[in-house]
Amino acid sequence: MIVKRHWFLLFYSLYAGFGKVAGTKSKAKGSQGQFPITQNVTVVEGTAANMTCRVEYNDNTSLQWSNPAQQTLFFGDKKALRDNRIELVQASSQELTIRINDVSLSDEGLYTCSLFTMPVKTTKAYLTVLGVPRRPEITGFTRPALEGELVTLTCTTWGSKPAANIRWFRNDKEVQDKKYLKEVPANRRSFTVRSSLQFQVDQRDDSVAYTCSVEHVSLSNPYMTTEVLEVHYAPQLEIRNSLIIPQEGQYFKLECVNRGNPIPEPILWSKDGGDLPDIDRMIVEGTELTFTTLNKTDNGTYRCEASNDLGTARAEYILFVYDPNALGQHGPDHALIGGVVAVVVFITLCLIIVLGRYLARHKGTYLTHEAKGAEDAPDADTAIINAEGNHVHAEEKKEYFI
């Protein structure tokens, strides 16, 4: 009966002809002058889509929903297509609502609601199905990297529609230098998206978390996948001391701080290029060298050494033990500061003296004999004549600089 009804509806539709697509409502009363009212629907893949068709006025004329392949889904309250995912929600003279459960990407398309008047009035509604991206996978890093090695991390997600967006983070800071590649499968319904990071690793990348974040309109929160890098690098050593000014009789400790991956071990201590002296006051515990009571005989250069598969490192510390009685009440730091201040004051005074002598020499007075005799003349004319009269002795004129 369903098949016969379907062919009857198809024959009737061809006979009556389809009306033009519209979403407006007729002002005339009755079903003859109006078109069905529908709305486009957007749903996420795997959820349910409700398709509703309404008319304002109806004189018991039937409503029908058809899929993008023009197969009748429901004619009134009668189901025409055997698809267990499709069910009736509401059927009346003014409304026909159906539900498509577990929507897939293949359900996307243009659906038609028909009002069987003479001629048939139709309105279309587009069902958009959003493809949910799969959780991302990071590839390209399957073993510990060596410092200086070029590493490529690739994040891949598939099944998204429209194409998902990928962002990279180094710890909590976003990385901008990345490459995108989008692929469309043969069915042209969903996207596969890849994004790659390429960089040269160093010891700062050891234990750093690189996170691939996939964002999509179908997701309320991004999908994230994290890869924690492991980078192997040669050891680096540094000796730290417990006292700035070690003095005789004090407790004193040297620590050999080591960094490297794998962790460099063991730590070997030596003094002045040889073994440590065998004394009870000196205790070696791994990375620490402890002097329970300092003595002037402890003076010398101490060295720690450690190795891993990538190399060997050494660090040195020169120990000088001060005599507390020779340091004075204020200690060597105050004496040193006082000496520096004295030197600065002395240099400043010398500069002032030299500068004063220089300025004094360039501030002298010039005396000549050009106006000789002018002061004994009774008037100005005589003074000029007396001065001019001495031109014969011009070669004897001298300048005195005081």
- Residue 176 reports pLDDT greater than 70: yes
Q: Are residues 29 and 121 in the same domain?
A: yes
Instruction: Return the pLDDT at 21.
Output: 35
Instruction: Return the pLDDT at 367.
Output: 43
Q: Mean pLDDT over residues 342-349, rounded?
A: 82
Q: Are residues 194 and 310 in the same domain?
A: no
Instruction: Return the pLDDT at 392.
Output: 42
Best mean pLDDT range from 124-128, 346-350, 374-378: 124-128
Q: State how far the alpha carbon of 19 is from the alpha carbons of 10, 194, 238, in Å.
A: 15, 46, 86
C-beta pairs of 169-173 under 8 Å, 24+ apart in sequence: 169/210, 169/211, 169/213, 170/208, 170/209, 170/210, 171/208, 171/209
Question: Which is more confidently placed, 303 or 326?
Answer: 303
- Residue 205 reports pLDDT greater than 60: yes
Q: Are residues 67 and 126 in the same domain?
A: yes
Mean pLDDT of the chain: 81
**Of 181, 204, 229, which residue is a domain's last?**
229
Q: Mean pLDDT over residues 96-110, rounded?
A: 96
Q: pTM for this one? A: 0.63
Per-residue pLDDT tens over the stretch 282-303: 999 989 999 999 999 999 999 9
- Residue 208 reports pLDDT greater than 60: yes
Question: Which is more confidently placed, 179 or 68?
Answer: 68
Q: Are residues 306 and 345 in the same domain?
A: no
Instruction: Return the pLDDT at 334.
Output: 55
Q: Which amino acid is at 345?
A: V
Return the CATH number at 280.
2.60.40.10
Q: Are residues 215 and 253 in the same domain?
A: no
Q: Could you list the residue range(s) of the whole structural domain that residue 182 is in?
A: 137-229
Q: Kind and range of the H or E element at 350?
A: helix 331-361
Region of poorest pLDDT, from 65-79, 175-189, 319-333, 376-390: 376-390
Q: Are residues 144 and 244 in the same domain?
A: no
Q: Are residues 144 and 101 in the same domain?
A: no
**Which of 65, 49, 51 lies closest to 101, judged by CA?**
49
Instruction: Return the pLDDT at 29.
Output: 45
Q: Are residues 214 and 267 in the same domain?
A: no
Instruction: Return the pLDDT at 33.
Output: 63
Q: Are residues 143 and 116 in the same domain?
A: no
**Of 171, 195, 229, which residue is a domain's last?**
229
Per-residue pLDDT tens over the stretch 70-95: 999 999 999 999 899 999 999 998 99
Q: Are residues 171 and 252 in the same domain?
A: no
Task: Determine the Cα–Cα distance for residues 136 and 193; give it in Å rounded to an integer.
Answer: 9
3-state helix/strand/coil string of 173-213: EEECCCEEEEECCCCCCCEEEEEEEEEECCHHHCCCEEEEE
Instruction: Return the pLDDT at 397.
Output: 44
Per-residue pLDDT tens over the stretch 218-238: 999 999 999 999 999 999 999
* Number of domain units in the chain: 5
Going by pLDDT thresholds of 50, 70 and 90, the confidence category of residue 141 is confident
- Residue 37 reports pLDDT greater than 60: yes
Q: Are residues 353 and 390 in the same domain?
A: no
How buried is residue 69: exposed, middle or buried, by Cβ count under 10 Å (0-12/13-18/19+)? exposed
Region of poorest pLDDT, from 194-203, 239-248, 259-268, 363-372: 363-372
Q: Are residues 157 and 213 in the same domain?
A: yes
**Of 95, 130, 165, which residue is a domain's last?**
130
Region of poorest pLDDT, from 78-92, 249-263, 310-324, 346-360: 346-360
